[in-house]
Amino acid sequence: MRSTIMQMINDMRNMSRILLAGFLVLYLGDCKQAYEPPAIRGGNDYLVVDGFINVAPGSVTTIDLNRARRLSDSTAVGIPELNAQVAIQSKGGSSWPLQDAGHNGYYVSQPLTLDISQTYRLSVTTADGRKYLSDPVPCKPTPPIDSITWSQPNDLTFSISTHDVAAKTHYYRWDYIETWQHDAALQTPWGVNNGHIYATDSTTQRSHCWTVLHSTQVMLDNTSALSQDLVDKFPIYTIPFGDSRLDIKYRIHVRQYALTSDAYSYWLQIQKTSQGLGTLFDLQPAQLIGNVHCLTNPAEPVIGYVSASTLQEDSLFLYNTNLHYWTHNSPGFGCDTLGIPADPNDFSNYTYADTNWAPYYFDGPTTLILASKICLDCLELGGTTTRPPNWP
Amino acid sequence: MRHSGLHASLFVLSLTLITSAHGQDKRISGDFQGIPFSQLVSKMAAASGYTFYYDPAETDSLVIHVTVEHATLPELLDLVFRGTDLHYAIDPAGRVFISKLFVIQTQLPAEATRQDGPPISIPGDPTQKQEEDPSSKHILKAIEENKLIEIGRKDGKALQGKATLAGYIRDAKTGEAIVGASVYADSSTRVVITDQFGYYSLTLPRGRHVIRISSQGMKDTRRQVLVYGDGKLSVDMQEFIASLKTVIVSAEKTSNTRSTQMGVNRLNIKTIKQVPVVFGETDILKVVLTLPGVTSVGEASNGFNVRGGSTDQNLILFDEATIYNPSHLFGFFSAFNADVVKGIELYKSAIPEKYGGRLSSVLDVSMLDGNSKKWTGSGGIGPLTSRFFIEGPLVKDKTSMVASVRTTYSDWVLRTIPNNAYSNSTTGFSDANLRITHMIDQKNSIYVMGYFSTDHFNLNTDSVYHYSNQNGNIKWKHIFSNKSNALITAGMDRYQYSVSDPRSGTSAYKLGFDINQTYLRADFNYLPGNKHIFNYGVNSIYYKLHPGSYEPVGAKSLVVPNTVAAEQALESAIYAGDQYSVSQKLAINAGVRWSVFNYLGTHQEYEYAPGFPKQTTTITDSIFYGSGKVIKTYAAPEIRISARYQLGKDASVKASFNTTRQYIHMLSNTVAVSPTDIWKLSDPHIKPQQGLQYSLGYYRNFSANTIETSVEVYYKQIGDYLDYKSGASLVLNHHIETDVLTTKGKAYGVELLVKKASGRLNGWFSYAFSRTFLKQDDPLAGESINNGKYYPASFDKPHNVNFIGNYRFSHRYSVSLNIVYSTGRPITLPLSVFQLGGTTGLFYSERNQYRIPDYFRTDLSVNIDGNHRIKKLTHNFWSAGVYNLTGRQNPYSVYFTQENGQVKGYKLSIFGAPIPFITYNIKF
């Protein structure tokens, strides 16, 4: 029996050799195509209502109205919704209008003192006459921030602590604004304007810059399961070890909002949907149902959840030297310099063609030392040269 | 008798002189009206010269009204005996034997019925030889079918009461047990179906019966039996070779209307092999997908959906071993090597009580026993795979084995494609099967099976996916008596899968998962009489799951290990059922299964604040349970009832009611490929899924039972089915209960099937309308999916049409055509991008509100058999064809990805062009 099998295997081998040669080369086709069903091609410019009714005495409410963008739009911000009529309405029937003073989609109220025992809602009538109304929401006073703390080693983590003795808050949301100073690696008193070198002053200096950035994540916590309404060192933000934002001075300004449980659920979904796409660890798509509705067309989705609360804020400053072993770039590190002859007739005349270079200093009357522009002009790395208020 | 004998002897001589031999050519004319049979005999004897032997007592009531003109004797006798139970036989010597109920054999049998036990056939049966000379087959069959087999001990008493017949139905050529063959007596509507070992047991009134045996792909056969008492009757069936010139009229293929089972589809491997599939590789699952009520979510997706159930609600058994991933190459091939598959059974509604643990269906794939008569084998070469298969007797007629291996050389194929996306990809699989069947004695047999499969692929990325099934079991079948038998099964199943990225230095990782189960089952059958068949038994499965571990690979890797703790549980059940034949027309199957599930330690269980959504922020405590501690027990009865009512000869109605429970859940992130699916046991937070199904069917056969039709409707309710919260994260989730929510579902549909199983043109057409909706009913979910309304499940595909056709031009050439259409599956689309609270988010549609494009595909293949010479060393078989003839770019998956700040959608179609294929198979 064994020999028969061996013989058959040999037969098969011979056969397979002939057959392999005859195989057709497979053509699998170009299998990836753009997929753009009519549903996503356009028209999904849903109204986005971003903001909250600030019920702290004498405070201003700011609501940002904009439009959601098509998937294929690469602009970073929403399209402002202009010429809308926006108002806060109380259950009692009072109404307070918001004006788009800057014509940028930001609708701002007068300083108001609202009765926090009332419920409030936001009404929006867009320029094309469509009416929107949010559900009435109760006012939730936000307890003050107890502390913002930071911790190391290595990565820097900011944590927040707060509590409500009355144990009525439970649901918290935070956002923050970070501001950091980033100086030019080389300091120069000179600037260039239209081929002329001039001495800068505090308004034209390019040595000290500040960048302001708003948080892009949603930070939430919920204490409803705890025996006390206490948030103890909740980590809200972590900066990787050695990040240049802490090269000199850094400030984090945290804003705290109290939420209702429904609002919390909404923000929780926003938190999830804003995370990555197209990865192995893809998340289940979140369908957002906020508390703003279109009265003109009830089927039209509206994005946003309008809450009414007070706002609590706090800031924390950090110097590079406060931190444990954080990198600090020494002045001039990695900067090249280049000497060129100065114009003997008019030292302010500057004609050097390569715009990657800029005047650094005059080495005597005949030589102008240039350095890479990126080392001299802090704006090359973004930000503004205006010192932020209360910057130490 | 003596009287007619005398008559005859007078004429034999004279007629011989006149006709010189061939008596049968003698023509008879005459008008015979109102005369008794004895008188006709006299006349015929006088005219033809035959000698008639008959019992006047059996024929005295017969009055003849026949007019013939120039008829032969057989023609005349056919007319005379039409509508009676009288038969005749004419021997070469011109003797005519008239008998009641059976035909007298005028030749000595060349082969006797195979014997399995104590004397069952005519005493003095001359031979047990199993010689196969094809030229004699027809005669053999005729003899076997007409011979009267006496069963049991003849005790001289009157034939009263009942007796039980039992035995094996096998393939005459290979000795392979035939599963799912129908065995029934002409005198009763009771149909019994052979079990996975080809074993049956049938209780009959003592006396004369014709036992009919039919099975798909085999020639119908019958046995004449005279039952004195309990006994064995094993029958070997011949393979059905389509005769091209004659129409087979089969009165026996009524099993679909007679069987009490409903919602069952049975296919044998021969039928499965006729269906054209991509790359010419016979694919069990692709064929299952053409059955009414079975759909899949994608072209080459893992698993299938039955009657609106999810893919994890199917119990897939391969020779009793549970297969968790039934696919190779992310769904292009099924994990079952067709060479070792004997057939499949799919239970969609009336699930027998012995099965449990899954909600929707049971797919039972049976494996060959191995040729018990001689060694044979086969090999196959296709563009992507090669196979080798061998089977034969280790000890003739006692121990047989089957072994097969299959492997790909797809890496080689991918490298030849001039496109980096393919040539940088690797993919491959292999699988191996082994089965040994050992008949210890008449009452005991042992079956051992082993299965191993492995897959790996990486698709132009650094991530390597890998998964593997490993299964083994041993079964002992013991026959206590004809009325009672048992099957004890013990085995282990393992499914493991992983994703790893070993190449990228500091971030090299391996993400691994596995499921292990050890099981013990004891199934008993008891058949006390004709009216009842009792099934009862116990079974138990011990689960050990590793739901995820994330580990560094290599010394440089900085990956921080993260392991989700192992889970363990015990699922046990005790069941009992009765198949009760109330009357000739009404039969009822009723059973109950009591299942108990214990979730066991070691486990760290999180407690959540009562009355709040389960979120990480509402965790109040965690409790540690030690090893083996019972943490949570779920127990409930499952009801299985079905009934059949016969409407005349060719039609029946059936109804069933079923409840099922499922304790293991698959959590699948639908965007990604399967090796990231998470399997999760029910635990204190995740309740078992419950299913309930009502179904009703009408079955009707046409054209002498060659065309079977059926209509079935069903309505299903599903409870505690898991869906995911928005933004759910499933991988490496230590508290998965915070990301899932329970839904209740409803599914309903209609299934039509028209099937022609034999003839030149054979195949089936099926249409199913089915809908599945889910509705969130978890008050503590913390969110509301589609406002708490019913929404379509992700596998809801309303319209499904399948056509499978095969046309044989000759014995060597046939053409197969396959047409598939289905509605595209639902999808949740991102509609726009927004900015809120500083965050960029995607605004999605309501869940499953949109659908991907419909699916349509046509495949054509031509099959050429080598010549049919018996003495040839090898037989070969060619199959060539085109997959997706119309080249439609059916979507395999639709996904969205962020590119340069834009969110872009892509449709991936894998077989977006006609794909020609050619396959060669060799058999020896």
CB contact under 8 A, B618 and A222: yes
Same domain, residue pair A209 and A270: no
Distance from the Cα of residue A21 to its chain's centroid:
59
Cα dist. B158→B57, B228, B430 in Å?
20, 9, 62
**Chain B CA closest to residue A305:** B836
φ, ψ at B330 (rounded to 5°): 35, 45
**Chain A CA closest to residue B376:** A5
Contact A353/A195 with Cβ under 8 angstroms?
no
Contacts of A300 in chain B (CB under 8 A): none
Mapped onto helix, strand or coil, the DSSP state of residue B595 is strand
Angle at A22 between CA A20 and CA A27, to 5 degrees: 95
CA-nearest of B791, B819, B792 to B805 is B819
CB contact under 8 A, A34 and B620: no
Q: How confident is the model at residue B105 (pLDDT cuts 50, 70, 90)?
A: low
Q: How confident is the model at residue B873 (pLDDT cuts 50, 70, 90)?
A: low
φ, ψ at B11 (rounded to 5°): -100, -20
Rounded to whole angstroms, the Cα distance separating B122 from B913 reads 64
Of B615, B724, B909, nearest to A222 by CB-CB distance is B615
Contacts of B829 in chain A (CB under 8 A): 37, 39-40
Peptide bond into B602 cis (omega under 30): yes
**Measured between CA atoms, how close is B396 to chain A, in angstroms?**
13
Contact A338/A357 with Cβ under 8 angstroms?
yes
pLDDT of residue A35: 83
Rounded to whole angstroms, the Cα distance separating B587 from B581 reads 4
Mapped onto helix, strand or coil, the DSSP state of residue B142 is helix
Rounded to whole angstroms, the Cα distance separating B92 from B106 reads 9
Does residue A17 lie within any of the structural domains? no
Query: For the CA atoms of B375, B381, B387, B392, what is the dihedral angle to 10 degrees?
Result: -10
CB contact under 8 A, B833 and A68: yes
pLDDT tens-digit series, residues B573-584: 999 999 888 887
Contact B796/B308 with Cβ under 8 angstroms?
yes
Q: How many residues does chain A have?
A: 392
Interface contact B148, partner A, CB < 8 A: no
Contacts of A10 in chain B (CB under 8 A): none
pLDDT tens-digit series, residues B267-304: 888 778 777 665 667 788 888 888 888 887 666 566 78
Rounded to whole angstroms, the Cα distance separating A54 from B647 reads 76
Contact B181/B191 with Cβ under 8 angstroms?
no
The percentage of chain B sitting over the pLDDT mark of 70, rounded to a whole number, equals: 82
Six-digit token string for B339? 């060479």
**Measured between CA atoms, how close is B923 to chain A, in angstroms?**
9
CA-nearest of B428, B405, B461 to B328 is B428
Cα dist. B16→B12, B29, B306, B683 in Å?
6, 19, 71, 91
Rounded to whole angstroms, the Cα distance separating B749 from A383 reads 63
Q: How confident is the model at residue A127 (pLDDT cuts 50, 70, 90)?
A: very high
Of A36, A46, A287, nearest to B905 by CB-CB distance is A36
**Chain B CA closest to residue A51:** B837
Rounded to whole angstroms, the Cα distance separating A166 from A145 reads 15
Count CA atoms closer than 13 A to B634's CA, side-chain side.
Answer: 21
Average pLDDT over chain A, rounded to an integer:
82
pLDDT of residue B16: 28
pLDDT of residue B231: 85
What's the whole-model pTM score? 0.73
Of A37, A48, A217, nearest to B850 by CB-CB distance is A37
Does residue A287 lie within any of the structural domains? yes
Q: Which residue has the higher pLDDT, B126 or A135?
A: A135
Return the CATH class of domain B264-923.
mainly beta
Rounded to whole angstroms, the Cα distance separating B121 from B573 reads 42
Q: Which residue has the higher pLDDT, B660 or B87?
A: B660
pLDDT of residue B495: 93
Interface contact B896, partner A, CB < 8 A: yes
Rounded to whole angstroms, the Cα distance separating B202 from B227 reads 12
Six-digit token string for A377? 């002009």
Q: Which residue has the higher pLDDT, B848 or B191?
A: B848
Same domain, residue pair A129 and A268: yes
Same domain, residue pair A330 and A230: yes
Same domain, residue pair A226 and A339: yes
**Measured between CA atoms, how close is B379 to chain A, in angstroms?**
8
pLDDT of residue B751: 92
Of A20-29, B32-41, B839-848, which range is least confident?
A20-29
CB contact under 8 A, A225 and B619: yes
Q: How confident is the model at residue A340 (pLDDT cuts 50, 70, 90)?
A: confident
Residue B874, classified by CB atoms within 10 Å of its CB into exposed (0-12), middle (13-18) or buried (19+), is: middle
pLDDT tens-digit series, residues B739-753: 888 889 999 999 999
Contact B194/B235 with Cβ under 8 angstroms?
no
Of B143-152, B170-179, B338-347, B383-392, which range is least confident?
B143-152
What's the alpha-carbon Rg for chain B, to the nearest Å?
Answer: 32
Over 70: is that where the pLDDT of A232 sits? Answer: yes
CB contact under 8 A, A27 and B915: yes
φ, ψ at A263 (rounded to 5°): -65, -40
Contacts of B896 in chain A (CB under 8 A): 71, 277-278
**Measured between CA atoms, how close is B468 to chain A, in angstroms?**
20
Which of A265, A287, A289 would you mutate first to test chain B, the one with the most B CBs within 10 A? A287
Contact A316/A62 with Cβ under 8 angstroms?
no
Helix (H) or strand (E) holding B412: helix B410-416
Over 80: is that where the pLDDT of B731 sits? Answer: no
pLDDT of residue B414: 60
Range list of H helices, B611-737: none
Rounded to whole angstroms, the Cα distance separating A47 from A123 reads 13
pLDDT of residue B146: 76
Over 80: is that where the pLDDT of B22 sits? Answer: no
pLDDT of residue B343: 86
**Measured between CA atoms, how close is B380 to chain A, in angstroms?**
9
Same domain, residue pair A68 and A79: yes
pLDDT tens-digit series, residues B407-424: 887 666 666 555 555 566
Angle at B29 between CA B24 and CA B31, to 5 degrees: 135
Interface contact B903, partner A, CB < 8 A: yes
Six-digit token string for A37? 């069903």
Same domain, residue pair A127 and A272: yes
Return the CATH class of domain B2-100.
alpha beta
CB contact under 8 A, B873 and A11: yes
Contacts of A274 in chain B (CB under 8 A): 839-842
Of B440-454, B533-547, B641-655, B674-688, which range is least confident?
B674-688
Interface contact B101, partner A, CB < 8 A: no
Mapped onto helix, strand or coil, the DSSP state of residue A374 is helix
Predicted ipTM? 0.81
Same domain, residue pair A291 and A376: no
CB contact under 8 A, A26 and B417: yes
CB contact under 8 A, A284 and B725: yes
Rounded to whole angstroms, the Cα distance separating B214 from B232 reads 18
Same domain, residue pair A145 and A236: yes
Over 90: is that where the pLDDT of B56 sits? Answer: no
CB contact under 8 A, B620 and A23: no
Over 80: is that where the pLDDT of B128 sits? Answer: no
Of B729, B828, B847, nearest to A281 by CB-CB distance is B729
Within the 498-537 window of chain B, which residues sit less than 8 Å (CB to CB) from chain A?
499
Interface contact B417, partner A, CB < 8 A: yes
Q: What is the DSSP string of A1-35?
A: -HHHHHHHHHHHHHHHHHHHHHPPPP-----EEE-
Same domain, residue pair A322 and A174: yes
Within the 850-869 window of chain B, which residues sit less than 8 Å (CB to CB) from chain A?
850
The arithmetic mean of pLDDT across residues B39-55, rounded, is 77
Q: What is the DSSP string of B226-255?
A: EESSSEE--EEE-B----SSSPPP-SS--H
All structural domains of chain B with their residue ranges: 2-100, 134-258, 264-923
Q: How confident is the model at residue B839 (pLDDT cuts 50, 70, 90)?
A: confident
The third-level CATH classification (topology) of the domain covering B134-258 is Immunoglobulin-like (2.60.40)
**Measured between CA atoms, how close is A46 to chain B, in angstroms?**
8
pLDDT of residue A26: 39
Q: At what angle do helices B73-81 and B37-48 cross, to 10 degrees?
A: 170
Residue A76, classified by CB atoms within 10 Å of its CB into exposed (0-12), middle (13-18) or buried (19+), is: exposed
Six-digit token string for B832? 């726009």
Q: Which residue has the higher pLDDT, A195 or B6?
A: A195
pLDDT of residue B23: 43
Which of A1, A11, A28 would you mutate first to test chain B, the one with the most B CBs within 10 A? A28
Rounded to whole angstroms, the Cα distance separating B546 from A269 reads 29
Cα dist. B613→B650, B685, B790, B807 in Å?
57, 12, 21, 60
Which of B409, B726, B893 would you mutate first to test chain A, the one with the most A CBs within 10 A? B726
Rounded to whole angstroms, the Cα distance separating B126 from B357 reads 52
CB contact under 8 A, A71 and B615: no
Same domain, residue pair A228 and A372: yes
Contacts of B916 in chain A (CB under 8 A): 24
Task: Tell me the sheet residues that pair with B751.
Answer: B712, B768
Six-digit token string for A285? 């798509």
Q: How many residues does chain B have?
A: 924
Domain that holds residue A362: 141-260+311-392
Cα dist. B63→B32, B47, B86, B299, B378 in Å?
10, 19, 13, 68, 60
Within the 540-569 window of chain B, which residues sit less than 8 Å (CB to CB) from chain A?
none
Rounded to whole angstroms, the Cα distance separating B714 from B693 reads 7
Over 90: is that where the pLDDT of A5 sits? Answer: no
Helix (H) or strand (E) holding A62: strand A62-67
Mapped onto helix, strand or coil, the DSSP state of residue B17 is helix
Give the number of beta-carbon pairs within 8 Å between A and B. Answer: 257
Highest mean pLDDT: which range of A17-31, B205-219, B885-899: B205-219
pLDDT tens-digit series, residues B135-165: 444 445 556 777 888 887 776 666 778 888 8
**Measured between CA atoms, how close is A173 to chain B, in angstroms?**
10
pLDDT of residue B418: 56
Same domain, residue pair A160 and A250: yes
Does residue A177 lie within any of the structural domains? yes
- β-strands A308-309, A137-140 pairing: parallel
SS3 assignment for B710-756: EEEEEEEEEEEEEEECCCCCCCCCCCHHHCEEEEEEEEEEEEEEEEE
CA-nearest of A243, A236, A184, A225 to A378 is A184
Within the 819-848 window of chain B, which residues sit less than 8 Å (CB to CB) from chain A?
828-847
CA-nearest of A191, A181, A180 to A373 is A191
Six-digit token string for B267? 């296919």
Burial per residue of B522-537, b for 16 or more beta-carbon CB atoms within 10 angstroms, e otherwise: bbbbbbeebbebbbbb
Name A154's Cβ contacts closer than 8 Å, sequence gap at least 6.
A241
Does residue A276 lie within any of the structural domains? yes
Contacts of B904 in chain A (CB under 8 A): 34, 71-72
Contacts of B782 in chain A (CB under 8 A): 265, 268
Of A43-57, B94-108, B611-625, which range is least confident?
B94-108
Name the domain count of chain A.
2
Interface contact B420, partner A, CB < 8 A: no
Does residue A71 lie within any of the structural domains? yes
Of A96-110, B102-116, B569-583, which range is least confident?
B102-116
